[in-house]
Amino acid sequence: MTTGVRQAARDATRPRAPRWPAPVVLALLVGLAGVGYRLALLLGDTPRTNSDEATMGLAALHIARGEDFPVFFYGQAYMGALEAYLAAPLVALAGPSVLALRLPLLALYALFLLLSWRLTRRLGGDRWFALLVVGLLALGADRIVKNQLIAGGGYPELNPIGAGLALLTLDLVSGRPAGRRWRLAGFGFLAGLTVWVDPLLLPYVLALGAVLVTIIGRDLRGRRGVLLAGAALLGAAPLLGYGLAHGHNPLAAVVTAGGGDAVASWADRLHGGLVLGPALGMGLCSPGHCATWQLWWALALPVLLALAGVSAWRAWRADGGRAGRADGARTVRADGARAVRADGARAVRADGARAVRADGARAVHAGAAVRLALLAGAVGTLAAYTVSSAAGRTPVESSRYLSCLAISLPALLWPLWTVARRRGPVDLPRLAAVGALVALLGTATIATAGALATVPTNRAEAQRHRALVETLRERGVRHVYGEYWTCNRLTFATGEEIVCAVVDESLHPGLDRLPAYPRAVRESPAPAYVAPVGSPLARRLDRTPPPARHPLTVAGWRIWLPHP
């Protein structure tokens, strides 16, 4: 009795671990700051919208009205219209607006932060390392926030899908029996979904799929394999159904869109893909360009990929052997224990301890395998982008194709973190690791400040566009001609109250993603013409104005109105 009281007293005076450890609280605050920063950008009309985003908005508007249910981005046979379906309920409630399009994407970003924290912890990282990963993902340079917040098709969905696939893979290969069928179905569905939405994530899907086949390939035979394949077909059903109905080859469309039919020199491709691309695509550059000093990441990235790959490979080989030995020993000893009834209690206890050790070894082995897959996905993404003509011809804008690299941060930075956190005397490797992490955070922070600096100009541009819309409404204009980057934005902003048809600077028909619009404008007896001041179309119309129309300048726009 006295012993029990003393033990209770010791337990009462022993300091208890906080329910919410400091890194968890800090990660929550940092994550909320990342979401708040992006919400502030949205309220400040940043990033600047465009007609491509408005095209997705028009799809959401048609879905909300029940008029159309598109499979792909209007005007093309690739890139699924998932963002339009996500935004349709908000558009139905609040009407057409850029904010209604982007709020679901902000929720996807918050989900990505949560999944990245969980993924980092499951891969073996401590809470402080997970906080570092969340902190980097909370920052947002110009290219990063465009990828995450513009509803232009494909990019905002990919990172949460990729992190979800990695977590599902970890659960499936680490020996968690509960819910295995649902996890297999989830993996298949997400894999199929990304094929429909945007194939940029395919290197990660293939690498993680290879982990499943390598570790639990036997379990994928029979019903479970059928379940996995069936879920993948369900996720890709819109793509497959469209292809069967229209005889469409989505792979050919994607290759053409990526510049497969264009020409770029290998020097330009290597420079765009391996020098400019990584720094731009991972948020280390100012809006629209990279200073020379910001390109240091191009040198660091291949070194980190190699170090992280070697580290993950060694852990996978070593822990795989331990897991196998522990499983074998557990099986043999458990059989022996069952044969000896008299020592049953001791056998059960020993078998339980061995089971814990085996499960731990298997979990570490699974984590190393998934780290390898994340690194392989990053290498595959870089390689696919570098060999494309887009890397050589439009490296600044097409660096968005590298947005998936953020998924690999927990695996990529793991060697730096392990060296930086190593105990003992401070040596050169430790100083280099700390310096690289500080440089990464510092460069990303400076690039984030550059994105914030664009808010005043973006807000002013949005106000000028609103002035254009109000002027056209006041004048009773319902049909206009304009350039590509004017038309669908104007049509979406007015909820199709004003319909715009595209013309080039020679006044010939341009790229109209919805054929109904040019038909409606052609049938109008007196359409107006709209162009930004100083644009090629505006200069052409100033030299040769349309007949029976008088020009008007409003907030940086030239408008040629029909005479009353």
Q: What angle do CA 55, 57, 62 make, to 5 degrees?
A: 100
Q: What per-residue confidence (pLDDT) applies to 245? A: 80
Residues 140, 283: contact at Cβ < 8 Å? yes
Q: Which residue has the higher pLDDT, 327 or 270?
A: 270
Entry field: residues in the chain? 564
- State percent of the chain over pLDDT 70: 86
Is residue 56 pLDDT above 90, yes or no?
Answer: yes
Is residue 78 pLDDT above 90, yes or no?
Answer: no
Is residue 333 pLDDT above 60, yes or no?
Answer: no
* Nearest in space to 282 (alpha carbons), one of 87, 440, 157, 127: 440
pLDDT, mean of residues 96-101: 97
Structure tokens at 210: 């290879």
Is residue 482 pLDDT above 50, yes or no?
Answer: yes
pLDDT, mean of residues 13-37: 85
Is residue 23 pLDDT above 60, yes or no?
Answer: yes
**Quick one: DSSP state of residue 515?**
T
Could you give the CA distance from residue 378 to residue 403 in angstroms, rounded to a whole number? 10
pLDDT, mean of residues 45-71: 96
Could you give the CA distance from residue 24 to residue 114 in angstroms, rounded to a whole number? 11
Tell me the per-residue pLDDT of 371-393, one tens digit each, with 9 for 90 and over: 999 999 999 999 999 999 999 88
Element holding 530 (H helix, E strand): strand 528-532
Dihedral sign, CA of 470, 475, 479, 484? negative
Q: Which residue's entry shows tokens 């910001």?
A: 294
pLDDT, mean of residues 418-423: 90
Q: For residue 351, how many other CB atoms are within 10 A of its CB?
A: 17
Q: Is the peptide bond before 177 cis (omega within 30 degrees of 0)?
A: no
Q: Which residue's entry shows tokens 């807000």?
A: 459
Residues 492, 59: contact at Cβ < 8 Å? no
Q: What per-residue confidence (pLDDT) applies to 336? A: 43
Structure tokens at 400: 């968005």
Mean pLDDT of the chain: 87
* Nearest in space to 493 (alpha carbons), one of 153, 95, 102: 95
Q: What per-residue confidence (pLDDT) applies to 20? A: 79
Q: What is the pTM (predicted TM-score) of this model?
A: 0.89
Structure tokens at 130: 């997970």
Q: What per-residue confidence (pLDDT) applies to 258? A: 52
Q: What per-residue confidence (pLDDT) applies to 455? A: 96
Element holding 562 (H helix, E strand): strand 557-562
Q: What per-residue confidence (pLDDT) applies to 62? A: 97
pLDDT, mean of residues 305-322: 82
Q: What per-residue confidence (pLDDT) applies to 262? A: 61
Q: Residue 560's beta-bridge partner residues?
A: 529, 551
Measured CA to CA in angstroms, residue 393 lies from 254, 268, 383, 455 at distances of 17, 7, 16, 28
Element holding 554 (H helix, E strand): strand 549-554
Q: Which residue's entry shows tokens 């109250």?
A: 497
Element holding 161 (H helix, E strand): helix 155-173
Structure tokens at 165: 């696939």
Structure tokens at 161: 């899908």
> Predicted confidence band at 278 (pLDDT cuts at 50, 70, 90)?
very high
Could you give the CA distance from residue 205 to residue 237 in angstroms, rounded to a whole number? 17
> Predicted confidence band at 366 (pLDDT cuts at 50, 70, 90)?
confident
**Quick one: DSSP state of residue 499?**
E
For the beta sheet containing 479-482, the strands, ordered from the edge strand earlier in sequence to the opposite edge, are 499-502, 479-482, 528-532, 557-562, 549-554
Q: What per-residue confidence (pLDDT) applies to 242? A: 86
Is residue 343 pLDDT above 70, yes or no?
Answer: no
Q: Which residue has the higher pLDDT, 108 or 546?
A: 108
Measured CA to CA in angstroms, residue 206 lies from 51, 376, 412 at distances of 33, 9, 18
Tell me the per-residue pLDDT of 175-214, one tens digit each, with 9 for 90 and over: 766 678 899 999 999 999 999 999 999 999 999 999 999 9
Structure tokens at 372: 């390898």
Helical H segments across 82-150, by residue range: 82-94, 98-122, 127-138, 142-149
> Predicted confidence band at 427 (pLDDT cuts at 50, 70, 90)?
confident
Is residue 469 pLDDT above 70, yes or no?
Answer: yes
Is residue 524 pLDDT above 90, yes or no?
Answer: yes
Residues 136, 444: contact at Cβ < 8 Å? yes
Q: What per-residue confidence (pLDDT) applies to 16? A: 59
Q: Residue 559's beta-bridge partner residues?
A: 530, 552
Could you give the CA distance from residue 518 to residue 260 in angstroms, rounded to a whole number? 30
Q: Residue 554's beta-bridge partner residues?
A: 557
Could you give the CA distance from residue 164 to residue 186 in angstroms, rounded to a whole number? 9
